[in-house]
Structure 1
Amino acid sequence: MGENPELAAAMNDCQMGQAELARRVNAEIETLTGQPGHMTDRDVRRLLAGHTRWPHAKQRLSIERVLGRSATDLGFVPRSKKAAQAPPEDPMHRRSLFTLAVGTAVAATVGATRRLGQSDVHRFEAEHAKIIAQDQEFGGAQKVENDAVELAMRIKSALAGGGAASARVRTKLYCLASDVTCSAAFAAIDAQTRSRARGHRDTAVTFAGLSGDSETQYHVWNHLSMVAGQRKDHAEASAAADAAKSLSIAKKDPLYASLAHMRNAHAHAGRNDRSAAVKALGAAERSFGRHTPIQRPPWIEFFDGAELDGLTSIVWLRLNEPDRAEYHLHRALAAIHPDRVRNRTYYIAHLSLAQARQGDFESACATGDRAAEILGRVRGSKRTTDTLANVRKLMVSSGTREPSVLDWAERSQAWI
C-alpha cells in the first residue's frame, strides 16, 4: 500500500483540492442516483494516501466523471475482477449502477482493442432513440433518466478507452453524449427534480463543448433555458435562448430559430412583459412557417405544429389570457401525434387550467378527468400533476359550492 500520485496529479491538473473533489463527487452521485453522496475530504485523503485502492462503484464512476479520467488512469487498483464489478449498496439503483460499471469496463476494453467507427455511432444512436420514445410515452420516469445517464457514461467510456477513432467519429460521439445527457436533463425537468436537471445540464455543456458542434450546443442552451425557467430565473432563461439564437444552426435552419424565439417568449411572459412576449411569439411563428421538412436529430422532432400551439398556449396562460390559451390548446390536442402520450396529458391538464381560470369549472373538471384517465402511464411527469394541482387550488379558493366541482376537487387528491 502506497501513495496515489496519479490521483494527486489529476487533482492538481484540475486545480481541485480535497474538499472540492468531495463536493463535486457527491454532486455527481446525486445526479447519477438521485441520492446525495457522502464522500468527505477525509475519504479523499485516504484515496491519496493509498489506504483505499478501489473505491466503491458510485464513488469510482463519479470520480471518473469529475476528473475526466478512467479509474486505472487515476491510480486505482481493482481488488479482484469480482470486486471491480460489485454493485453499489443503494438498492434502488443497484441494477442500473451495476450495469454502468460493467459497461464502463467493457467499453474500455473494446476501445483499447479496436477502432471506434460509424457502427458504434449507429449502435448508440439506436439506444438513444429508444430512450426518447420512452420519455415521450412515460415522461420524467426515473428509469428514463437512469437509462440516459448510463448510456452517456458508456459513450464517454468508449471515447476514453484508448481506441483509435477518426475526428468525425469522435465528434459524433461527443455530440451524442451531450444529446443523451440532455435527455436525462429533460426527464429530470419533467419530474421537477431541479438539482439533478442542473447536474445533467452541466455535464451536457462539457460534452457539447468537446464536440464543437453548433446543433449540439444549441440543444444544451435550449435545456438551460428550460431549467432556468423552471426555477423562475427568467433573465437567465432569456439569455440562454438568445445564446441559442446566435448559433449557426439557428441562423441557417428556421426550425431551430423558431424554438429559440419560443423559449424567449416563455421567459418574457414569466416576467409579465407582454409586449416582448408577443413579439417573440410572432418571430417564432414566422420562423416556423419558413422551415422545411428535412432530416434532423431525433430530439427536435417533437417541435411540430402541435407543439408550436401547445407552447404558445403556455405563453398566453402566463400573460393571464386563458381564452387565447384555450384556443391554442384545442389546436394542439387535435394535431398531436398519438405516441406522444406525455405531452398530450400535459396539454390536457393545461386545458383544464385555462378553463378553470375562465370560471368554467364544469368543463375544467371534465377535462381534468380526461387527463386523469392517462396519468397512470405518465406518473413521472410531475409538471402535469402540478398543473392539475393548480386547477384544484383555483376551484377550492373560488369558494364554489357546486356539488360536482367539490366532488372533483375531492377525487382529484388521489392523483395529484
Structure 2
Amino acid sequence: MEGNSRLQAHMIEHAFKQGSLAERVNEELMAAGYRGTVGDRTVRNWVTGKSRWPHQRRRDALTAVFGCTPACLGFYPPGMAAPPYEDPEVMLRRRFCTAAFALAAPALPAVDTRPTAVGTSDVIRLRGGLDRLTLLDQKQGGHAALERAALAGAAEAIGMQDRSASQTIRQRLFGVAAAYTTAAAWSCIDARRLDHAEQHVNEALRLAGLSQDSVALMRVWNSTSILAHQLGRHAESVAAAQAAQSCTITRRDPLFGSLAHARAAVAHADQGDRQAAIRSIGYAEEALERADTRPRPAWVAFYGPAELYALTGIVRRRLGQHAEAETASHHALAMLPATYRRNRAMTVVDLAVAQLHQGDVEQACATTEIAFTLMSGGPLPGRLRVLLGDFYRDLLTLASTTTVAREWADRYRSEWSSA
C-alpha cells in the first residue's frame, strides 16, 4: 500500500494498528487538555497520505507517541514536496542492519544515559496512578494508606520539577500534584481526619494555582466546600462552592457546572437558605441535561443523575422537606451503580433519616440494615459513621421509648461506634 511509508514503518515497529494508534494519540491530546477526537478514519487518512499535514495539536501528540518529529513520520506542510515512497519493510530492515553494525563496533566506555527530561508520557503515567487511587477510594473509602499513596504521588510530580521540562509540562506536573494532594484531602475528609484534610486542601490550592489548570482548581474548591461543611463553617462552604462555579471548566463543561451548583445547593441548605438552595438545585439539573459524554478525569465519574438525586435528597432533608428527601433518595438508589457501595450506603442512611422524620420508625431502622450489609467485610468510613450517629441521635429524640429503637441500639451501636 502506497501513501505515508514513514508513518507505516513506525507503526509496524511499534506494533500499532490504526485503532490502537488513534487511542494513543487521543491519550496525548487529553493529557494536553484537549478532546481526543482522533479515530480510525483519521489515522487511515494519515497512512494513505490523504492527510499530509495534521493539525498542530495532533502533530505534537504524534511526536510524543513516537518520539520523533513530524518530518520523520512522513508529514510535510503544504507547498513542500512529498518524500518518495519506500516499502516500510525495507526501511525497517535497513534500520535494523544499521543498528546491528553499531552494536558490532568496539565498545565505548559506559555513560549514564538515563533521561533527564520530563515529557507528556511522564504526565500520563502519573495520571494513571490517580485513576488507581480513585478505584481504591470507591472500594475502601478514605483511609491512611490511601492518603500516604496520594501524597507520594504528589511528591513525585513535584520532584520532577527539578528535571528539564517545557513550561507546559511543568504546569501539567503542578496540576497532577494538585490532583494527588486533593485526593489525599478527600481521603481525610471521608475518614473524618479533618485537621489533616485542611492542611492538604490548602496545599492543593497553591499547587492548582501554579498549574493554571481549571479542572484541578475546581476539584480543590469542591473538596474545600465539603470540608467547610464538615467543620461547621457554612458561609465558607458557600464561598468555596461559588469559587468552583467561577472556574473556567464549569463554564465550558456543563457536567462540572452542574456539580458546582449542586455543591452550592447543599451549602445554602446548611445555612437554611431555602430559596437559594432550591434555585441552585434547579441550575444543577439544567446544566446536567446539557452535559455530553466527552472524556473526563476518573475522579468525577461518580457525578451524574444518580449523584444529583442523592445531593437533592440531602438538600431537601436539611431544609426539613423529608417526603421530598425520601423520594430523591429512592431515585438515587435506583440509579447508583452497585460498585459505588459507600455512596449507596450514605444514601441509604439519608433515606432512613427522612423516613424517621416522617414517623416511620420501624421502616427507618430496617433501612439502615442495608447500609451495614453494603459495607460488610470492611470498616465503615468516618463520614458514614457520623451519619449513622446523626440517625441514632434523631432516633433517641423521636422514638426513644419504642421497642424497635432499643433493638436497633442493642444490635448496631457497638458495630457502628467501633467500626
The TM-score with structure 1 as length reference comes to 0.70
Contact 1:141 1:380 in 2 (8 A): no
The answer to whether the aligner puts 1:165 opposite 2:142 as a matched pair is: no
CA–CA separation in structure 2 for the residues paired with 1:240 and 1:395? 32
**Matched residue, 2:349:** 349
- Which shows bigger deviation, 203-212 or 111-120? 111-120
Give the letter for the 2:136 counterpart: Q
**Matched residue, 1:145:** 147
CA–CA separation in structure 2 for the residues paired with 1:174 and 1:112? 23
CA–CA separation in structure 2 for the residues paired with 1:324 and 1:140? 30
Contact 1:139 1:378 in 2 (8 A): no
CA–CA separation in structure 1 for the residues paired with 2:385 and 2:214? 35
Offset at residue 113 of structure 1 (A): 4.7
The answer to whether the aligner puts 1:133 opposite 2:164 as a matched pair is: no
Give the letter for the 1:267 counterpart: A
CA–CA separation in structure 2 for the residues paired with 1:396 and 1:215? 43
Give the letter for the 2:241 counterpart: A
**Matched residue, 2:243:** 243
CA–CA separation in structure 2 for the residues paired with 1:126 and 1:345? 28
The answer to whether the aligner puts 1:263 opposite 2:263 as a matched pair is: yes
CA–CA separation in structure 2 for the residues paired with 1:158 and 1:380? 36
Offset at residue 111 of structure 1 (A): 12
Q: 1:382 to 1:111 in 2, by over 3 A?
A: farther
Offset at residue 415 of structure 1 (A): 2.1
**Matched residue, 1:371:** 371
Give the letter for the 1:155 counterpart: A
Superposed, 1:83-122 pairs within 5 Å as: 113-122=115-124
Offset at residue 356 of structure 1 (A): 1.3
CA–CA separation in structure 2 for the residues paired with 1:251 and 1:267? 20
Q: Secondary structure at the match of 2:375?
A: helix
**Matched residue, 2:48:** none
**Matched residue, 1:4:** none
CA–CA separation in structure 1 for the residues paired with 2:206 and 2:317? 35
Contact 1:138 1:378 in 2 (8 A): yes
Q: 1:380 to 1:175 in 2, by over 3 A?
A: farther
Give the letter for the 1:352 counterpart: A
Give the letter for the 2:174 counterpart: Y
CA–CA separation in structure 2 for the residues paired with 1:277 and 1:137? 31
Aligned length: 305
Offset at residue 112 of structure 1 (A): 8.4
Offset at residue 413 of structure 1 (A): 0.7
Contact 1:175 1:211 in 2 (8 A): yes
The answer to whether the aligner puts 1:315 opposite 2:306 as a matched pair is: no
Contact 2:259 2:303 in 1 (8 A): yes
Q: Secondary structure at the match of 1:320?
A: coil
1:257-278: per-residue Cα shift (whole Å, max 9, x none)?
A: 1111111111111111111111
**Matched residue, 2:204:** 204
Contact 2:399 2:405 in 1 (8 A): no
Q: 1:146 to 1:285 in 2, by over 3 A?
A: same
**Matched residue, 1:361:** 361
Contact 1:137 1:378 in 2 (8 A): no
Offset at residue 122 of structure 1 (A): 1.9
CA–CA separation in structure 2 for the residues paired with 1:318 and 1:146? 34
Give the letter for the 1:333 counterpart: L
Give the letter for the 1:394 counterpart: D
**Matched residue, 2:303:** 303
Offset at residue 404 of structure 1 (A): 3.0
Q: 1:353 to 1:298 in 2, by over 3 A?
A: same
CA–CA separation in structure 1 for the residues paired with 2:143 and 2:307? 21
Contact 1:264 1:277 in 2 (8 A): yes
1:209-231: per-residue Cα shift (whole Å, max 9, x none)?
A: 11011221111111111111111
1:327-382: per-residue Cα shift (whole Å, max 9, x none)?
A: 11111111112211211111112111111121111111111111111334552511
Contact 1:185 1:197 in 2 (8 A): yes
The answer to whether the aligner puts 1:275 opposite 2:275 as a matched pair is: yes
CA–CA separation in structure 1 for the residues paired with 2:380 and 2:134? 14
Percent identity among equivalent residues? Answer: 35
CA–CA separation in structure 1 for the residues paired with 2:399 and 2:300? 43
Contact 1:111 1:158 in 2 (8 A): no
**Matched residue, 2:186:** 186
1:133-184: per-residue Cα shift (whole Å, max 9, x none)?
A: 011121112211121111111211122xx32112232222211111111111
Contact 2:189 2:197 in 1 (8 A): yes
Give the letter for the 2:147 counterpart: E
Contact 2:361 2:404 in 1 (8 A): no
Query: Structure 1: which 5+ residue stretches go unaligned?
Result: 1-109
1:276-296: per-residue Cα shift (whole Å, max 9, x none)?
A: 111111111111111111101
Superposed, 1:58-73 pairs within 5 Å as: none
Cα RMSD (Å) of the superposition?
Answer: 1.8
Contact 1:352 1:388 in 2 (8 A): no
Q: 1:266 to 1:112 in 2, by over 3 A?
A: farther
CA–CA separation in structure 2 for the residues paired with 1:294 and 1:248? 16
* Misfit runs of 4+, over 3 Å: 110-113, 399-402
Give the letter for the 2:292 counterpart: T
CA–CA separation in structure 1 for the residues paired with 2:341 and 2:154? 25
